[in-house]
């Protein structure tokens, strides 16, 4: 008799079988989501919140990997108190789930998801999200993947807002006129030594995830020179935009799935101080980021995880991939319910 399928988290003290997981990921996802080793490491081992037990594996009796789920919880709160990150307490994320193509429609995905949900609940989660995590892989469920949408909808997740990744050309005909639109602000790339000023701007204006993510970006070798700044007439930072090039130390979300495309850049996030809104500086700083990437010889760019399709459309960007937010509460068991 063949041994049953074993499902469980990577045990404490055991190393994560990175190569096996990446190989299965590549067979499970389509050509639009081909993961490489660097991205995998960045979004697991190099995520300060990551624990090996956040990966749950399904293996057959002979040890072959049949499926996996990566969950996430934000665990870095103690290191960053007072930064408005408390709102992420109780959030549990299904960061990625995959079952090998030969093993689908046998209930394995559902079984992996159930174990992931129990693990997240045991670790304090009260609401579950598909994607969206810190150091995320996806902003939600990829809409073009019917199996994934049906899978989560059928597992009690409520489907919500659509989010898109947008692709566009780095064409001076789009970005040059926009750069000249306002006389109240100017744009330039950040300068070495300006890191503290950028983080101070972010902690005042966008305390929470953008501040945290940008600090991590800088700590892990991201360059301030890849941050476009909106500068007011008093020489103060009023806005920011991150952009990414191939080969950068930090793989920006816009470049997650473009590792085979050496002439593509990534753009985002972007944020402006309230006082700087309504001046055209939002589009202006995107144009500055486009110009920065263009000057590095790149031809196209992807802007990730946005609902602002019309806004970025003015600079020539169009939806390339669409995701749907998916969430469900964890309904805690009433004590004694199963104890009869």
Interface residue with ligand COA, options 108, 162, 197, 320 (CB under 6 A): 108
Does 99 help bind ligand COA (rule: CB under 6 A)?
Answer: yes
Least CB distance from residue 8 to ligand COA, whole Å? 17
Does 156 help bind ligand COA (rule: CB under 6 A)?
Answer: no
CA dihedral 292→295→296→302, nearest 10 degrees, is: 50
CA distance 166 to 151: 25
Does 88 help bind ligand COA (rule: CB under 6 A)?
Answer: no
CA distance 134 to 124: 17
Q: Which part of the chain contacts ligand COA (CB under 6 A), choosing from 34-42, 143-151, 220-228, 229-237?
A: 143-151
CA distance 165 to 254: 8
Interface residue with ligand COA, options 125, 128, 148, 185 (CB under 6 A): 148
Q: Which is nearer to ligand COA, 4 or 193 (CB)?
A: 4
Please answer whether residues 238 and 272 qualify as being in contact, where contact means their C-beta atoms are separated by less than 8 angstroms. Answer: yes
Q: Which is nearer to ligand COA, 150 or 225 (CB)?
A: 150
Own/partner long-range contacts of 104-112 (Cβ < 8 Å, ≥24 apart): 104/147, 108/5, 108/58, 108/66, 108/67, 109/67, 109/151, 110/151, 110/155, 111/7, 111/58, 112/7, 112/56, 112/58, 112/67, 112/68, 112/69
Backbone angles phi, psi at 89, to 5 degrees: -65, 135
Does 147 help bind ligand COA (rule: CB under 6 A)?
Answer: yes
Interface residue with ligand COA, options 10, 58, 71, 96 (CB under 6 A): 96
Least CB distance from residue 96 to ligand COA, whole Å? 4
Q: Which is nearer to ligand COA, 144 or 184 (CB)?
A: 144
Backbone angles phi, psi at 159, to 5 degrees: -85, 135
Cis? peptide before 80, omega within 30° of 0: no
Does 35 help bind ligand COA (rule: CB under 6 A)?
Answer: no
Q: Which is nearer to ligand COA, 112 or 267 (CB)?
A: 112
Kindly determine how many residues on this chain lie close enough to bind ligand COA according to the rule CB under 6 A.
22
Least CB distance from residue 75 to ligand COA, whole Å? 21
Per CB under 6 A, residues contacting ligand COA are 28-29, 96-99, 104-110, 138, 141, 145-148, 150-151, 154
């Amino acid at each position: 008799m063949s041994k049953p399928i074993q499902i469980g988290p990577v045990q404490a003290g055991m190393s994560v079988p990175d190569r096996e997981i990446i190989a299965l990921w590549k067979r499970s996802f389509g050509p639009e989501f081909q993961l490489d080793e660097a991205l995998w490491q960045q979004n697991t081992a190099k995520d300060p919140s990551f624990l090996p037990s956040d990966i749950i594996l399904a293996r057959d009796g002979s040890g072959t990997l049949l499926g996996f789920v990566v969950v996430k919880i934000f665990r870095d709160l103690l290191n960053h108190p007072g930064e408005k990150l408390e709102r992420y307490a109780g959030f549990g994320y299904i960061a990625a789930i995959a079952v090998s193509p030969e093993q689908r429609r046998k209930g394995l995905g559902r079984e992996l998801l159930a174990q992931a949900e129990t693990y997240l609940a045991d670790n304090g989660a009260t609401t579950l999200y598909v994607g969206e995590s810190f150091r995320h892989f996806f902003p939600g469920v990829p809409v073009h993947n019917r199996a994934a949408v049906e899978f989560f909808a059928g597992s009690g997740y409520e489907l919500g807002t659509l989010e898109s990744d947008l692709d566009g050309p780095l064409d001076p005909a789009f970005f040059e006129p926009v750069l000249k639109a306002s006389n109240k602000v100017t744009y330039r790339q950040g300068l070495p030594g300006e890191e503290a000023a950028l983080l101070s701007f972010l902690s005042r204006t966008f305390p929470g995830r953008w501040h945290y993510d940008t600090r991590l970006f800088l700590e892990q070798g991201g360059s301030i020179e890849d941050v476009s700044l909106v500068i007011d007439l008093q020489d103060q930072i009023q806005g920011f935009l991150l952009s990414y090039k191939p080969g950068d130390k930090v793989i920006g979300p816009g470049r997650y799935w473009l590792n085979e495309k050496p002439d593509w850049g990534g753009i985002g996030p972007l944020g402006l101080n309230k006082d700087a809104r309504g001046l055209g500086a939002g589009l202006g700083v995107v144009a500055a980021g486009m110009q920065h990437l263009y000057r590095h010889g790149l031809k196209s760019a992807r802007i990730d995880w946005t609902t602002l399709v019309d806004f970025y459309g003015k600079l020539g960007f169009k939806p390339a991939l669409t995701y749907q937010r998916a969430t469900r509460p964890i309904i805690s068991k009433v004590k004694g319910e199963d104890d009869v």
